[in-house]
C-alpha cells in the first residue's frame, strides 16, 4: 500500500491532522489507521457536554465534537481503516495488521503519531491489598457505563482527582451509585476547576486532598478500602486510617502517552511529558515523523488537541511536498522556575506559521503569581495569574513578528512577583 501521509490513530488528534493536511494540499493521499471499531478516540465514551467551547463556540458532547471532524473526511478524500492496529513505524513505512489484509505495510512520505494515552493502572500505583474484582481505571469504568451500558458498581471510592475521575463521580451518581469520596494524594486537585464544581460540589461528594488508599479488602469483589491522610512526602500518617465500605474503587491517577511505537521507531522522548520532543512544526527527532494530541503531552481540553494537530497536519503536508524553508535561526525554549515542560522544545524561525503557541504545565500550585517570558534573559512578557495548577495546561502565544529579533533562547518561568 502507498500513501503520502499515514496518520496513526483516529482520535481527535488524528482527525484534525488529517483534515488540515488535506486542506493544505488537496492532492495528497492521506490514510488514517485506527485500531478501534470507530473513529473518534476517547471522545466516543465522553458523552458529557463540554467539548468545543473554543473551537465551535458551543458546548458539544464528545461524540458530537468528533462527528464535526469525521463528516469532513469523505469530502476531502481522506481514507481510513478501522480495526487496524499499527505495529511498527519508521519514517517512510508503517506496518499494521487487521483481519482483512493481515499484516501489511504502507509506504509513505510522512507519518503523524496520534496514538493518545492510556491510564495508569493499579499495579503502577503500588496500592497494597488484595486483588478482587471491582478495581477499575476511571476510563474503563466510563467505557463500561457509556458504551456497554453496564454499571461497574454501586458504592464507589475514587482515588485521584483527574478529570476522568471527576466526571465519573458525577456519572456514577446520576446512575444511582453512591460515590463516597474522592481521595487525592496531592494537596491540590489534578483536574479542572469547573469539573470539581460541577461533578463533586454539586453532588456533595467529598474531595479529600492529601489522602490515599492504603489497603484494598475483599477476596472476590471489593468489600472496602482503607484510606489515610498523607504527609508532605506522600507517606500515610499513622492514626488517620479510615475504612470505607464499598464495592468499587475507581482510579484516576494520571495518563501515560502511548509511545511504545514512537520509542521503537527511535523517536527522542521528553522524560517530563513521556511524549516525543518536537519543534514548532510538531516534528519529532526523526524527520518526517510528527506527533500531536495526547501522545505528545496530556491535554485537558480537546480544542487544544485539534488546534495543535492542525499545525502538525499542515507541517506533514509541507514536508511531503518538500516545501522546506531556508535554514534559519533556531530558538531553544527553556523551562524556568516552576515550569515542568514546554511544547515545543525549540523553534526554527523560518518554518514558523504566523504565531508561536507555547504550552506548558507547572510543577506546583501557584497563587497570585506571574508567568514571565524572557528572550535571552530580557523580560518580554509579565502576566499575572490568579492561580496556576499542574492540573491545567497554560499557554503563551507569541506573534511571529515578536520573534523577528531571533533570540537564541526563550525562557518561561513562574514567579511570585
Partner 1 sequence: MDNSFDVIIIGAGVTGCAVARELSRFDCSVLVIEKDEDVCCGTSKANSGIVHAGYDAKPGTLKAKMNIRGNELMPGLCQELDIPFKQIGSLVVCTDEANREGIDDLYARGITNEVPGMKILSAGEVKAIEPNISDDVVCALFAPTAGVICPFRLNIALAECAAQNGVEFKFDTKVTGIRSSGGVWEVDTGDAVYIARAVINAAGCHADDIHNLVSDKKLHITPRRGDYMLLDRSLDGFVKHVIFPQPTKMGKGILVTPTVHGNTIVGPTAVDIESKDEAPVTAEGLVKVQEGAVKNVKGLQLKQVITGFSGLRAHEDGGEFILEEADGCPGFFDCVGIESPGLTACPAIGEYMASLVSEKLALKQKDTWNGICKDVVKPVELPSEEREKLIKEYPEYGRIICRCETITEGEIIDAIRRPLGAKSLDGVKRRTRAGMGRCQGGFCSPRVMDILSRELGVALDSITKSGGNSKIVTGRTKDEG
Ligand X SMILES: Cc1cc2nc3c(=O)[nH]c(=O)nc-3n(C[C@H](O)[C@H](O)[C@H](O)COP(=O)(O)OP(=O)(O)OC[C@H]3O[C@@H](n4cnc5c(N)ncnc54)[C@H](O)[C@@H]3O)c2cc1C
**What are φ and ψ of residue 349, in 5° steps?**
-55, -40
197 binds, among partner 1, ligand X, none (CB under 5 to 8 A by kind): none
Under the binding rule (CB under 6 A), the answer on residue 297 touching ligand X is no
Report the residue number, 109 or 139, with the smaller CB distance to partner 1.
139
DSSP 197: I
Across 13-30, b (16+ Cβ under 10 Å) vs e yields bbbbbbbbbbebbeebbb
- The full DSSP string for 243-272 is EEE-SEEEE---EEE--HHHHHHT--EETT
Which one of 109, 129, 134, 139 is in contact with ligand X (CB under 6 A)? 139
Binding mask 235-274 for ligand X (x = CB under 6 A): -----------------------x--x-------------
CB 134 within 8 A of CB 153: yes
Report the residue number, 139 or 276, with the smaller CB distance to ligand X.
139
Chain residues in the site for partner 1 (CB under 8 A): 35, 83, 85, 87, 97-103, 118-119, 121-124, 126, 128-133, 137, 139-140, 143-145, 147-154, 175-176, 214-216, 219-221, 236, 247, 260, 263
* Shortest CB 331 distance to ligand X, Å: 26
Binding mask 39-58 for ligand X (x = CB under 6 A): --xxx--x-x-xx-------
* Shortest CB 308 distance to partner 1, Å: 24
Please tell me the number of Cα atoms within 13 Å of 404 on its side-chain side: 4
CB 325 within 8 A of CB 281: no
13 binds, among partner 1, ligand X, none (CB under 5 to 8 A by kind): ligand X
Cα(51)–Cα(43) distance, integer angstroms: 9
Cα(296)–Cα(306) distance, integer angstroms: 13
Under the binding rule (CB under 6 A), the answer on residue 18 touching ligand X is no
Please tell me the number of Cα atoms within 13 Å of 51 on its side-chain side: 23
* Shortest CB 207 distance to ligand X, Å: 18
**∠ at Cα 331 (326, 333), nearest 5°?**
145
Lookup: cell for 26: 488537496
Report the residue number, 93 or 365, with the smaller CB distance to partner 1.
93
Under the binding rule (CB under 6 A), the answer on residue 70 touching ligand X is no
64 binds, among partner 1, ligand X, none (CB under 5 to 8 A by kind): none
Count of residues near ligand X by CB under 6 A: 38
Question: Crossing angle of helices 302-320/62-73, nearest 10°?
Answer: 20
Residues interacting with ligand X, by CB under 6 A? 8-14, 33-36, 41-43, 46, 48, 50-51, 85-86, 114-116, 139, 142, 163-164, 167, 258, 261, 293-295, 299, 301-303, 305
Amino acid at each position: 500500500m502507498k500513501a503520502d501521509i499515514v496518520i496513526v490513530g483516529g482520535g481527535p488528534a488524528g482527525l484534525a491532522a488529517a483534515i488540515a493536511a488535506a486542506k493544505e494540499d488537496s492532492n495528497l493521499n492521506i490514510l488514517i489507521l485506527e485500531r478501534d471499531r470507530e473513529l473518534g478516540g476517547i471522545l466516543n465514551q465522553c458523552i458529557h457536554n463540554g467539548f468545543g467551547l473554543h473551537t465551535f463556540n458551543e458546548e458539544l458532547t464528545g461524540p458530537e465534537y468528533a462527528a464535526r471532524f469525521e463528516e469532513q473526511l469523505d469530502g476531502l478524500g481522506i481514507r481510513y481503516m478501522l480495526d487496524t492496529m499499527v505495529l511498527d513505524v519508521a519514517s517512510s513505512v508503517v506496518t499494521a495488521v487487521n483481519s482483512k489484509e493481515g499484516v501489511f505495510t504502507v509506504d509513505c512520505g510522512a507519518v503523524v503519531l496520534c496514538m493518545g494515552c492510556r491510564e495508569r493502572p493499579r499495579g503502577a500505583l503500588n496500592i497494597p491489598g488484595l486483588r478482587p474484582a471491582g478495581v477499575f481505571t476511571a476510563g474503563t469504568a466510563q467505557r463500561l457505563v457509556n458504551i456497554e451500558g453496564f454499571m461497574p458498581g454501586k458504592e464507589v471510592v475514587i482515588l485521584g482527582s483527574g478529570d476522568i475521575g471527576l466526571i465519573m463521580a458525577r456519572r456514577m451518581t446520576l446512575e444511582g451509585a453512591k460515590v463516597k469520596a474522592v481521595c487525592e494524594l496531592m494537596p491540590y486537585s489534578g483536574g479542572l476547576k469547573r469539573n470539581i464544581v460541577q461533578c463533586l460540589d454539586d453532588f456533595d461528594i467529598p474531595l479529600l486532598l492529601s489522602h490515599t488508599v492504603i489497603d484494598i479488602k475483599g477476596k472476590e469483589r471489593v468489600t472496602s478500602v482503607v484510606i489515610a491522610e498523607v504527609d508532605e512526602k506522600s507517606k500515610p500518617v499513622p492514626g488517620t486510617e479510615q475504612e470505607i465500605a464499598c464495592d468499587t474503587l475507581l482510579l484516576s491517577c494520571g495518563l501515560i502517552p502511548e509511545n511504545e511505537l514512537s520509542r521503537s521507531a527511535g523517536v527522542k522522548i521528553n522524560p517530563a511529558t513521556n511524549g516525543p520532543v518536537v519543534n514548532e512544526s510538531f516534528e519529532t527527532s526523526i524527520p518526517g515523523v510528527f506527533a500531536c494530541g495526547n501522545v505528545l503531552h496530556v491535554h485537558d481540553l480537546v480544542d487544544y488537541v485539534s488546534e495543535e494537530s492542525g499545525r502538525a497536519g499542515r507541517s506533514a503536508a509541507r514536508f511531503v511536498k518538500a516545501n522546506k524553508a531556508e535554514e534559519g535561526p533556531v530558538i531553544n525554549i527553556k523551562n524556568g522556575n516552576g515550569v515542568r515542560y514546554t511544547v515545543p522544545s525549540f523553534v526554527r524561525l523560518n518554518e514558523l506559521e504566523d504565531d508561536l503557541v507555547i504550552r506548558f504545565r507547572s510543577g506546583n500550585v501557584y497563587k497570585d503569581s506571574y508567568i514571565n517570558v524572557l528572550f535571552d534573559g530580557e523580560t518580554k512578557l509579565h502576566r499575572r495569574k490568579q492561580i496556576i495548577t499542574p492540573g491545567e495546561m497554560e499557554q503563551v502565544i507569541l506573534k511571529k513578528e515578536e520573534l523577528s529579533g531571533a533570540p537564541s533562547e526563550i525562557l518561561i518561568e513562574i514567579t511570585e512577583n
